[in-house]
């Protein structure tokens, strides 16, 4: 592979934007395909193409222009990637990995069949098939992400009537912690792992609110979490970045919840908090460069910046920037999304400290106004 190949990325959202920010110091230019003219990567003039990454023909036409195809969102055309592979293009991750990850029922079956610990599950094609067993967690097998398509069900009436099957149903688990581990794996099977992080999710939206790195795990539990994540990456034969989200149950067992074959919200802390960020690492893998070091620089936290409850229009970036500017130890990343909606992921804050005590002291000083972005008043 050339040291600086032509790289095309399916998707032009915030992950692609942070990939490009990591690629520029290496003098590597990425190109993006996204259906929205207002996507965060649209600011990269001449490197942004309008097209549907779910459409086979669009993916093939775009991909044929590049040596390597990456992605920032897994819900892309597998048939398109398979055709590109047949024509000699490198796809990282592979269509085979995506076919497992895209469908949560297949993903759960893969975990079960390969001996990776996970919660027991059932698959239903329609809500009418689900007649008992509550409380349980209901997940859309296809199309759910970032907390969307996940709901705790207490009674039949709680099942969303507008959701389409198939569905994955899991029992409610007594969780001690939710842990995330990022694994980088290149074409040669070489791996690098970042510190496990502890994730805190919103009980209603199931979206990540904040995370702490490193997680407060015993050395034995830390090693076990890393082993489980590496087992996932190796058994999948994945190439690129694999985010493994897992539960630490009240009985002391790690249970894999979900996997994502790309840079992930649980790894945003690595931009400031690790020697090599997840985004630079992905660019390195796409480019055929050696893996970078994943050791931590300090103690880190990431907090999501979301659309306010009443947000419905053009995002008020200026007000948010002013609010965060009052916090000298916080690093703001805005994703360039023009419209703010309730709970929409608009950016994140990162804090890096020398000690765990200093980190938690900083977290306690973050005001709510720095984590929610409102919309500008309507001109009508």
Written in H, E and C, the secondary structure of the chain is CCCCCCEEEECCCHHHHHHHHHHHHHCCCEEEEECCCCCHHHHCCCCEEECCCCCHHHHHHHHCCCCEEEECCCCCCHHHHHHHHHCCCEECCCHHHHHHHCEHHHHHHHHHHCCCCECCCEEECCHHHCCCCCCEEEEECECCECCECEEEECCHHHCCCCCCCCEEEEECCCEEEEEEEEEEECCCCCEEECCCEEEEECCCCCCEEEEEECCCCCHHHHHHHHHHHHHHHHHHCCCEEEEEEEEEECCCCEEEEEEECCCCHHHCCHHHHECCCHHHHHHHHHHCCCCCCCCECCEEEEEEEEECCCCCEEECHHHHHHHHHCCCCCEEEECCCCEECCCCEEEEEEEEECCHHHHHHHHCCCCHHHCEECECCCCC
- Residues 271 and 185 reside in one and the same domain: yes
Name 109's Cβ contacts closer than 8 Å, sequence gap at least 6. none
- Residues 309 and 202 reside in one and the same domain: yes
Within a domain: residue 333?
A: yes
CATH number of 307's domain: 3.30.470.20
> What pLDDT, on a 0 to 100 scale, did the predictor assign at position 203?
75
CATH number of 57's domain: 3.40.50.20
Please state whether beta strands 175-185 and 240-249 pair in parallel, antiparallel, or not at all (unpaired): antiparallel
Within a domain: residue 99?
A: no
> What pLDDT, on a 0 to 100 scale, did the predictor assign at position 145?
66
- Residues 150 and 277 reside in one and the same domain: no
- Residues 82 and 143 reside in one and the same domain: no
Domain span at residue 127 reads 120-171
Enumerate the β-bridge partners of residue 372: 306
- Residues 214 and 360 reside in one and the same domain: yes
- Residues 85 and 221 reside in one and the same domain: no
Within a domain: residue 341?
A: yes
Q: 143, 171, 199 — which closes off a domain?
A: 171
Within a domain: residue 277?
A: yes
Classify residue 96 as exposed, middle or buried by CB count within 10 Å of its CB (0-12, 13-18, 19+).
middle
- Residues 139 and 199 reside in one and the same domain: no
> What pLDDT, on a 0 to 100 scale, did the predictor assign at position 1?
46
Within a domain: residue 212?
A: yes
Mark the ranges of the chain whose per-residue pLDDT is less than 70.
1-4, 145-147, 379-380
- Residues 236 and 265 reside in one and the same domain: yes
- Residues 79 and 188 reside in one and the same domain: no
Within a domain: residue 145?
A: yes
> What pLDDT, on a 0 to 100 scale, did the predictor assign at position 167?
93
Place of tokens 């027991």: 120
Please state the pTM of the whole predicted model: 0.95
- Residues 192 and 44 reside in one and the same domain: no
Distances (CA, A) of 258 to 14, 15, 87, 134: 21, 19, 31, 21
> What pLDDT, on a 0 to 100 scale, did the predictor assign at position 147?
65
Q: How many domains does the chain have?
A: 3
Q: 135, 153, 171 — which closes off a domain?
A: 171
Q: Among candidates 146, 11, 169, which has minimal Cα distance to 75?
A: 11
- Residues 351 and 208 reside in one and the same domain: yes
Within a domain: residue 1?
A: no
- Residues 201 and 131 reside in one and the same domain: no
Rounded-to-integer distance, Cα 52 and Cα 94, Å = 19
Within a domain: residue 256?
A: yes
């Amino acid at each position: 592979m050339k040291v600086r190949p032509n790289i095309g990325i399916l998707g032009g959202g915030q992950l692609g934007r942070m990939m490009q920010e990591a690629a520029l110091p290496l003098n590597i230019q990425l190109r993006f395909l996204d259906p929205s003219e207002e996507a965060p990567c649209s600011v990269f003039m001449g490197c942004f193409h309008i097209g549907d990454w779910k459409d086979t023909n669009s993916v093939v036409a775009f991909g044929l222009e590049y040596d390597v195809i990456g992605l920032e969102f897994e819900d892309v055309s597998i048939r398109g990637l398979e055709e590109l592979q047949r024509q000699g293009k490198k796809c990282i991750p592979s269509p085979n990995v995506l076919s497992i990850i895209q469908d949560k029922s297949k993903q759960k079956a893969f975990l079960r069949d390969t001996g990776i610990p996970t919660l027991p599950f059932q698959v239903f094609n329609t809500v009418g098939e689900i007649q008992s067993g509550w409380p349980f967690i209901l997940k859309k097998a296809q199309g759910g992400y970032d907390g969307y398509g996940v709901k705790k069900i207490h009674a039949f009436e709680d099942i969303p009537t507008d959701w389409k099957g198939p569905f994955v149903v899991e029992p409610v688990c007594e969780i001690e912690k939710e842990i995330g581990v990022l694994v980088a794996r290149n074409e040669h099977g070489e791996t690098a792992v970042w510190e496990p992080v502890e994730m805190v999710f919103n009980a209603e939206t199931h979206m990540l609110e904040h995370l702490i790195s490193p997680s407060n795990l015993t050395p034995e539990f830390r090693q076990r979490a890393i082993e489980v994540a590496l087992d996932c990456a190796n058994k999948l034969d994945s190439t690129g970045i694999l985010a493994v989200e897992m539960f630490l149950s009240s009985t002391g067992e790690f249970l894999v919840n979900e996997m994502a074959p790309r840079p992930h919200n649980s790894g945003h802390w690595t931009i400031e908090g690790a020697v090599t960020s997840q985004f630079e690492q992905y660019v390195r893998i796409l480019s055929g460069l050696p893996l970078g070091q994943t050791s931590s620089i300090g103690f880190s936290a990431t907090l999501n910046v979301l659309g306010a409850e009443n947000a419905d229009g053009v995002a008020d970036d200026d007000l948010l920037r002013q609010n965060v500017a009052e916090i000298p130890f916080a690093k703001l990343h805005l994703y360039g999304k023009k419209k703010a909606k309730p709970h929409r992921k608009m950016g994140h804050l990162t804090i890096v400290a020398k000690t765990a005590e200093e980190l938690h002291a900083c977290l306690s000083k973050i005001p709510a106004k720095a984590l929610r972005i409102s919309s500008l008043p309507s001109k009508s």
